[in-house]
Structure 1
Amino acid sequence: MENKTNYVSEVEEVINSKTTGIKQQTGGDVLLVSEEGLRKIPIPTDDPNDPLNYSKWKKAGVVLTCCWFSPPETRLTGKSMTAIFSLLSLSGTGTFMQTLIQLYAPETDAHTVSNLSTYPTMVMAFGCLLFLPLSFVLGRRPVFIFVVILALITVITAGTSQNFQSHFISKLFTGIATGATESILPLIISDVTFLSERSFYFGLYWSTQNCVNAALLISLSYLTAAAGWRWYYWLFAIALGASLLLVIFLCPETRFARGLQALNGQAVYTDEFGATHILTDAEARERFGTVQAHTDTTTRKKTYLEELNPWSGITPEALKVLGRAFIKIGKSVSSPAVIFSLLASSISLGIAIGITLIYSTILEVEYHWSPASVGLFNAGIIPACFLAMLYAGWCADKINIWLAKRNGGVHKAEHHLIHMIVPGITGAIGIVLIAVCAHKPEKYSAWMMIVGWAIYEFSFTAILITTTTLAAETVPENPGAALVVVVGGKNLVSFGLSYGIIPMIFSMGYLRALMTLLGIFVGVFMLGVPVYFINPKWRKVAIKN
């Protein structure tokens, strides 16, 4: 016990130092800016294998892989989010939905055919709920490789399907696979980045895939018109096969256990879920009174071949960790900020999916566009995504640092709610523009509808960036748990909205249906005001329990 006592005493000695002048945070707040400058949270260890110590090129490889598979906007094509190629293989059916409706007319009706885009959205939530907790136990890398292979197989079976039923089943399993990647990738990005730069990387993550999606959606309508709808899946099968190589060769295991560390007079601990905790001396003694003695021995750096190993072993006490993961997922649902993030991302996603289900019909029937040209509807997404990345990524990080300085150096998770004001306003504008064009096509140009979609895409992408970052920070115990609820749960909630959009249009018309959704959209974003004041109180209670 002597060594253990000495270890805790060393930490207490640093904590109680009077020379740092740093206040202890409570309720999950993080001292982001101190007298010494910007702090690196989480704190990297001396271990060369710590993902936070990766070289810039190595981190770039990890981020590139994640961006390649990042959850694309379901709105682009009428589907839920997932990897750029795996998810777009789900949602991209919106570019040739009319073709599928005609193809399967002898078997089923148009509303049922649209389930090829809506139901996979729902099952993505189950993929998220299943595979994210496993990534805490088995590691990110083996789970990532498995779900990419699953996505590749199901894309091939969808392309070879001979009837609606087999096509539909393949899309469901693709949804499970893409739901898993959607939940794991933000966690991988969190593993290799610091708190002060996370908005930028999440912005890069959500925006790059949307830009790629937009370019593909424009070209895919021409591809399917010229070569047939099956080539839609062959393209993604080729892309996913190549993408698997990126996962294998550029994305090593990022799960890393960090012990108790001292920084500027505070004890900082990163748990098995990747969550960073700022501890008092009493909390450090209570939690680490039985840990092994601290050692300065540096672990040998793994070789590149060793990093290619798809299996790095099971987390100690795996069943307990898995059980705690599900408990933390349930606990995170009680957070007002998590609920708000879930609702905001769900309503924006649901409306986006609804728009992608109807835009090809509007352009072809009302504006007399050819099926090959409807992909041009997405032309404005590329500049919109760059603007969203700039605003909700780079600018948000700078604003957070500025807000922390005004708050005595302390960063609060609720600061991200301030970033939701602009996307809330622009999203409403985009919905209105699309609604009036769909209602009176003889009066308004189709390009006004395209501009409205670009504005909404900016809003949607900014909302995804901000809600993902907020979810990763708002639950002090476990960012992964909140990501399951927000990233996976939105697919379930948005399913109801997207599933009901066609019946709403049949009964209410384009204008009333979209205005109804607009009212829900605005109502949800108004909830951000009380959440800004209520959630800090919740975090203080949650950290004690």
Structure 2
Amino acid sequence: MSKYEADEKHFEQDHVEFAENGGKQGSQPQIEGNIQLIGNDGEVRLVPTPSGSKHDPLSFGKARKVGLLVTVIWFSIIALSVVGGFGALAPIFFGLYIPQGVTADHVVRLLTWPSLFTGLGNFVFLPLALVVGRRPVFIFASFMLVGSSVWAAKSGTSYESHLGARLLQGFSAGATESLLPLIITDMTFVHQRSKYFGAYWVAQSLFTACLNTASSYIAEYLQWAWYYWIFTILAVIGVLLVIFAAPETKFERPAFAIDGKAAKVDAFGNLVMLTEEEAAHVALDTNADQTVGPKENMGYVESLLYRVPATWSDFKVILNVYKHMVLALLDPAIIWSLGASSIVLGTTIGQSLTFGTILQEKYHWAHQNTGLIYLGTLPICVLSFLTSGWGGDKINLWFAKRNGGVHLPEHRLPAIIVPTILGLSLGVLMYGFCADAAPNVHWIAIVISQNMSTYLFICILITTTTYCVESMTHHAGAALVMVVGGKNILSFGLATAITDLANTGRNAYANGILAGCAGGWLLLALPLYFYMPRYRKWKAERATK
């Protein structure tokens, strides 16, 4: 029996897939984020509950889900590679633009400013996707990436034109951190999300590392314009994948009854329990607890032509999303997730701007060989997935079983313990001291420490993405944008400040500051773990008074 068939059989036998508090409708306050993930029989329950509709992404077949996952990973690889792979090429553009009178600080903007615009793109793509659907916004972002890559390739020796193209590339890459995680959320159950998000972030980092390794060789032997032409070709393939392998995943799930309570899934794909008053005004889906799969299979062509109708009144949702983005900053879990991902991303950006110069000037590497440092990301990605992706789901289920089957969002946090210890010691601190000691230490120390910092970033990204979505379920999309989009904006300022400091030759001091900030902030996960469940319970009780 396949895993899918086993899930379907269990689903038909159990009929109850989610419970936040049990009992009668409204008998106890709903505690946001708490999920009855393990049933009385010890089996994992399916959350959210699939409906009987053929348009329900939870009911997509395995081939359709795999095709969709491959498509979102492909786009993210190309978009983030062309935006983030500039580090190995930086010496080329220093030599090209500085003789024209462009300062070194302005050349660095070719890397740091696109990261800022990636964050801004998050704040545009996700609200639009909530209104007009995921598919049309995904197609638009894909064409934007193609157009901006052509522009960059034809920018010639004009710094201003090159910067403009890079900013548009960064903006299109914003879809990778808001729209695409939302698509993954649409088609996955809660107990699968760390695995799927882990596969997404790890595959993204893995193949991005391979492309970044090749980037310096492309620039050396084919001229730097071909760096963008090759990405243009890959982006065109991405457009074809989006058009032919990415069906619409926006789905308005009808309300249904579970454990004697009415529930619905909101626009962000998160399950919300209804109050007695709300439940009295909805019609329940009587088919929701009868099968995992749809009653009628949706054809391939039909799946690509299907779109979600949108009216002008639906655009009011955008204003509501922005309102909840601001309100998300009042939630301690969101503040912590934003700070953690921002500090760690700022660290990796800062290192990416300095390792090329260190390897060339201190160890006399040819500039086309500096991209080889990214090959260390290959084993790092496997380690990240085992630690926080696949391992994160295992840790989560273990804690849920110890907690009477109830999953808490804070059960995600223990997965960062090992990455924090290894990443800060063998990554951030080691990089700073070895960079200042070069060439008196072996170059492998620079390579190892830079990649261990990347390991910390990937693990933190996996954990904060799932944690923020689960801790603010009623407005998870807004929370997701604030964390993944906000981190690019905050890390922009941090990376700029640290790079200026590192350029003075004080790498140990700069990375020591980063390690202290990161370590102190990540330690705040301890009070979050113990006090956030009480805080959410207090909010739930206060809301019922």
Q: Compute the TM-score of the two structures, normalised by the length of structure 2.
A: 0.90
User: Which AA in structure 2 matches 1:461?
Assistant: I
Query: For 1:457, which of 454, 466, 479 is the aligned residue?
Result: 454
In structure 2, the residue corresponding to 1:379 is in which secondary structure?
helix
1:94 aligns with 2:87: yes
The residue aligned with 1:437 is: 434
Structure 1 34/26 Cα, relative in aligned 2: closer, same or farther at 3 Å? same
Q: Please list the CA deviations of residues 243-287 of structure 1 after superposition, one character each: whole Å capped at 9, or x if unmatched.
A: 1111111110001111221234443321223221134xxx1x311
The residue aligned with 1:73 is: none
Which structure 2 residues correspond to residues 237-252 of structure 1 after superposition, within 5 A? 237-252=232-247
User: Which AA in structure 2 matches 1:454?
Assistant: N
1:224 shift after superposition: 1.0
Q: Please list the CA deviations of residues 43-78 of structure 1 after superposition, one character each: whole Å capped at 9, or x if unmatched.
A: 101112210011111111111112222xxxxxxxxx
Distance 1:167 1:247 in 2: 27
1:389 shift after superposition: 0.8
Q: Which sits farther off after the overlay, 232-241 or 167-176?
A: 167-176
Which structure 2 residues correspond to residues 52-67 of structure 1 after superposition, within 5 A? 52-67=58-73
Query: For 1:286, which of 277, 280, 300 is the aligned residue?
Result: 277
In structure 1, the residue corresponding to 2:506 is in which secondary structure?
helix
Query: For 1:117, which of 111, 115, 123 is the aligned residue?
Result: 111
Distance 1:17 1:133 in 2: 33
Structure 1 294/268 Cα, relative in aligned 2: closer, same or farther at 3 Å? closer
Which structure 2 residues correspond to residues 357-372 of structure 1 after superposition, within 5 A? 357-372=353-368
1:531 aligns with 2:528: yes
1:510 aligns with 2:507: yes
1:177 aligns with 2:172: yes
Query: For 1:30, which of 20, 27, 35 is the aligned residue?
Result: 35
Q: What fraction of aligned residue pairs are identical, expressed as a percent?
A: 38
The answer as to whether partners of 1:141 and 1:310 remain within 8 angstroms in 2 is no
Distance 1:495 1:266 in 2: 45
Structure 1 315/187 Cα, relative in aligned 2: closer, same or farther at 3 Å? farther
Which structure 2 residues correspond to residues 74-473 of structure 1 after superposition, within 5 A? 83-105=76-98, 106-162=100-156, 163-279=158-274, 283=275, 285-292=276-283, 294=285, 301-309=297-305, 311-314=307-310, 317-429=313-425, 430-473=427-470
The answer as to whether partners of 1:210 and 1:385 remain within 8 angstroms in 2 is yes
Distance 1:301 1:168 in 2: 47
1:524 shift after superposition: 1.2
Distance 1:263 1:39 in 2: 12
Distance 1:200 1:182 in 2: 17
Aligned length: 514
The residue aligned with 1:74 is: none
Distance 1:539 1:160 in 2: 53
The answer as to whether partners of 2:114 and 2:167 remain within 8 angstroms in 1 is yes
Distance 2:429 2:71 in 1: 36
Distance 1:194 1:296 in 2: 18
Distance 1:456 1:307 in 2: 41
User: Which AA in structure 1 matches 2:136?
Assistant: P
1:292 shift after superposition: 4.1
1:520 aligns with 2:517: yes
Distance 1:40 1:293 in 2: 18
The residue aligned with 2:56 is: 50
The answer as to whether partners of 2:51 and 2:287 remain within 8 angstroms in 1 is no
The residue aligned with 2:537 is: 540
The answer as to whether partners of 1:224 and 1:231 remain within 8 angstroms in 2 is yes
Distance 1:15 1:434 in 2: 45
In structure 1, the residue corresponding to 2:263 is in which secondary structure?
strand
User: Which AA in structure 2 matches 1:211?
Assistant: L
1:541 shift after superposition: 5.0
Distance 2:463 2:296 in 1: 38
1:507 shift after superposition: 4.2
In structure 1, the residue corresponding to 2:165 is in which secondary structure?
helix
User: Which AA in structure 2 matches 1:437?
Assistant: C
RMSD of equivalent CA atoms:
2.4
Q: Please list the CA deviations of residues 138-190 of structure 1 after superposition, one character each: whole Å capped at 9, or x if unmatched.
A: 11111111011111100110111030001001111111111133210111000
In structure 2, the residue corresponding to 1:38 is in which secondary structure?
coil
Structure 1 136/540 Cα, relative in aligned 2: closer, same or farther at 3 Å? farther
Q: Tell me, which stretches of 5 or more residues in structure 2 are unaligned?
A: 1-15, 289-293
The answer as to whether partners of 2:436 and 2:505 remain within 8 angstroms in 1 is no
Structure 1 217/309 Cα, relative in aligned 2: closer, same or farther at 3 Å? same
The answer as to whether partners of 2:409 and 2:470 remain within 8 angstroms in 1 is yes
Distance 2:85 2:326 in 1: 33
In structure 2, the residue corresponding to 1:466 is in which secondary structure?
helix
The residue aligned with 2:483 is: 486
Structure 1 502/310 Cα, relative in aligned 2: closer, same or farther at 3 Å? farther
1:501 aligns with 2:489: no
Q: Which sits farther off after the overlay, 519-528 or 269-278?
A: 269-278
In structure 2, the residue corresponding to 1:382 is in which secondary structure?
helix
Structure 1 294/386 Cα, relative in aligned 2: closer, same or farther at 3 Å? closer
1:540 shift after superposition: 3.4
Structure 1 289/29 Cα, relative in aligned 2: closer, same or farther at 3 Å? same
Q: Please list the CA deviations of residues 274-333 of structure 1 after superposition, one character each: whole Å capped at 9, or x if unmatched.
A: 221134xxx1x3113223465659875433212222743217941342232222222211
